[in-house]
Amino acid sequence: MSEYGFRNWDEVNTKLNSLRENKFPIDGFALDLYWFGGTKGMGSIHFDQNDYPNATLNIKKYKEQ
């Protein structure tokens, strides 16, 4: 699943839950622009802790699902 960007984990989860409820096959998400802070953090390879806290834990959870 890819969009211009998901602004936070809640937005990712909302989209993921909707796809699953409607039996749409989904293998992954491309977070794109906002995970590292949007245009203000361009070039960073670190998750924005305000909108994407606990990245390691969340990614592990998605992998387990």
Residue 9 has pLDDT above 90, yes or no: yes
Longest Cα–Cα distance of the chain, Å, equals 36
Q: Name the pLDDT band for 64 (thresholds 50, 70, 90).
A: very high
- Using DSSP's 3-state secondary structure scheme, residue 53 falls into coil
> Residue length, the chain?
65
What's the whole-number mean pLDDT along residues 34-39?
82
Q: Taking a C-beta distance cutoff of 8 angstroms, is the pair 1, 30 a contact?
A: yes
Residue 10 has pLDDT above 70, yes or no: yes
- Extract the tokens encoding 41: 């953090």
Mean residue pLDDT across the chain: 90
